[in-house]
Structure formats: C-alpha cells, structure tokens
Amino acid sequence: MSAATAIQPETAKPTACLVLADGTIFYGMGFGATGTTTAELCFNTAMTGYQEIMTDPSYAGQVVTFTFPHIGNVGVNPEDDETGDPVAAGMVVKWDPTDPSNWRSVSELTDWLAKRGRIGIGGIDTRRLTRAIRQQGAPHVAIAHDPEGNFDIEDLLAQARAFPGLEGLDLAKDVTCAQSYKWDEMRWAWPDGFPKQEGARHKVVALDFGAKRNILRCLASAGCDVTVLPASATADEVLAHNPDGVFLSNGPGDPAATGEYAVPMIKTILETTDLPIFGICLGHQMLALALGAKTIKMNHGHHGANHPVKDHDTGKVEITSMNHGFAVDAQTLPEGVVESHVSLFDGSNCGIRMQDRPVFSVQYHPEASPGPMDSYYLFERFAEAMDARG
C-alpha cells in the first residue's frame, strides 16, 4: 500500500480508524473501549474462539485482525477466558459484532471489551488488510476509537511509527503470575463444566510465561498435580518443589529477551537433573535456546486453528492451533536434538526433542483442540515419561 492511503467505510461518519506505520489509514466503526493504543498488527484465520484469542497472553502487544467475519455472534462467558482479562491490544473485524445467539452467552462482546479497556473496529476490508500483512510483514499500527469521529491522523501516524515492535521485547514479565499457585481444574466436561482433579500421580512445576488456563487443565487431566511459578523463577525455586516434571508455558514477546533469565534456569535443570520437560509455544522456544539453538522473527507469523503439522516420527498430520510470531531455526539445532514436527504450510519448525531424554516441545497449541484431539497425546506422553521415571 502507498503512503497516506485512506480506506473509507460505507458510513459517512467513521468512529474509529486504524493507522499503519506506512501511512495507510483504514476508517470504520468503533466498539468496545474508546481511546487509542499502539501495537503490532497480525491476522487470525480461526472460525471460532474469538474470546479465547483475545484473552490468550501470547497476544500481548498485538492487535488481531479476524479474517472470519462473524465475530461476536456467540457472545462471551467467563468459562472461555484463557486468563482474567483480554490481553490482545484490540481487534479488527469486517462486520460490526451482532447480537449474541448462544445458550452459553452471558454478555455481549462489545460490552465485554468496553469494560476491559480494549478497542474494536468494524467495517474494515479485512481481506485487503490481511494481504498487506502477508506481503509486507506484521506492521506497527495505532488504533483509535472516538464516538465523535475526531482523529489526529498525524499524531496517530507518529505513534504507530514510534512503536518499538516485538523484537527484543520481554513481554512474559508483564503477563506472568505475581506469585506461585496451585491448579486442580480439569478440562470441561458435560454437563457440569470443569471438574476438580482427584488422585494426581505426578507433581509438575509449570513456568508461567503467559500460560493459558486450558493448558493447565490438560495437565491436570493427564494426572498432574500442578504448581505454577512466575516466569522469573530460578532453578533452585523450581527444584525446591521436588517435581516429577517441568512444564514450560506459552507466552508473548521475543524469546531471546525472555531467555535472558529463563534460559539459565532451564539449562541448570537440564544439567543437574533427569526430569522430563515439556514446552509449548514460547516454552518451546525457551527450551530450544537452552539447548543451543536460535530463534528468528517471522514475516507475519502463524495465527489460526487450521495449521497442518507433520510428526516426523509417525508420519501423522495434525490439524493444530497456532499463535506465534517467532520460530525456532531448525538449522541451528545441536547434535542430539532433532526436529520432531514441521509445518506443512511453510516448512517452519514446529517441534523438537532430545534423542536420549524425555525432553520435548512443540510450537503449536495441543490444548486448543482444533483437530479436535489430534495433539492431546503430547500431554499423555509427558505423563508417561514421568511414569517411566518412577
């Protein structure tokens, strides 16, 4: 897109605008909170799960463009939150959210966003915006919502251009828990919702780099007694719980930045114990860095619930959910560490494992169930590794 290009909505009086750092301006109708925010812009291709996406801590520092037009049609409810409040900076949609029609809905998306300080903009040509992201990479943007339709475009453009970007940014520290806590809630089951775990077989310490609740539920459902620790926890603090295994959670930001403090902790556990270790998303990247590999920033990342991933060991193809803008560079994996999974979209790395130890991780989200159960075996593999250790 050329600089200073303005895309007008069908309405005569726009109440929101999205300004890209290259000067492109999208006008639309605002909903949710009013005000202004800056972030990196990404797009998500999932047809369901907008509430889970907005509350996924991995989206910190990002505004999400939803390619599926029916956003808001099932409302929101407390059970679908992946963390206490929305973490994504804002949302961009093609059609204004409709009134919800779902028996589980307790509130409208627009009210939910407004109460939680998140901006939405509708009436946007999301196909054109998505093409721009794919071609140019994830742009820096400013998004503004003003019911009167008054916008200082020059100031918004300056804000977008001043946004530092996610490279070199440690966001895990902003979304991690403030102190340790226990987790015993299991996966949702009809008709009673989330049952409490009884009779756990294994003690697991989960490092919270921005953990989604459903990941913790999957660990509990696999028989794990879960203790969650902040991202900054040291190896001594982890091992003080005498765990049977260590889990490394998902999270936002640049893995190299978070790795400044997380990698030494993981290295110490690898060097001084034989504990099974399992990582997801940012946890996957943290483990790769601790083993000696490197990570790279992707052009526009992977965000959606329809990503095919091939398991090199079995030849099986899993349909997975993904949300990441950085990836492990498979070419930098050291001896003794192999690539276990690969994206069938672009060949990027989606999993690693050590050849001689129960230490493994994946780039995608097995708890999100797009398959719907294609990837749940990873939690069972983690539990089996702890069983084998005794």
Burial label, 77 (beta-carbon count in 10 A; 0-12, 13-18, 19+):
middle
Longest dimension (CA), the chain: 68
Six token digits for residue 144: 């503004």
200: tokens are 């756990």
Between CA 8 and CA 350 the distance in angstroms is 39
In the sheet that 337-343 helps form, which strands lie side by side, from edge to edge? 181-183, 224-230, 202-208, 245-248, 277-280, 359-362, 349-354, 337-343, 294-311, 317-329
Q: What does the block give as tokens for 307? A: 């990503």
Per DSSP, helices labelled H in 37-152 are 50-54, 109-115, 126-136
**3-state DSSP assignment of residue 282:** helix
Please give the structure tokens belonging to residue 49: 């799960």
Whether 367 is a known active-site residue: answer: yes
Which H or E run contains 258? helix 255-272
Residue among 17, 42, 224, 281 flagged as catalytic: 281
Catalytic residue flag (residue 365)? yes
Cis geometry, peptide bond prior to residue 372 (ω within 30 degrees of 0): yes
SS3 231: coil
- Rounded distance between C-alpha atoms, residue 387 and residue 373, angstroms: 22
**Which among 65, 115, 61 has a CA at the least distance from the CA of 89?**
61
Determine the Cα–Cα distance for residues 91 and 33; give it in Å rounded to an integer: 11
- The answer to whether residue 302 is catalytic is no
Which uninterrupted H or E stretch holds 160? helix 153-162
Show which residues are catalytic: 281, 365, 367
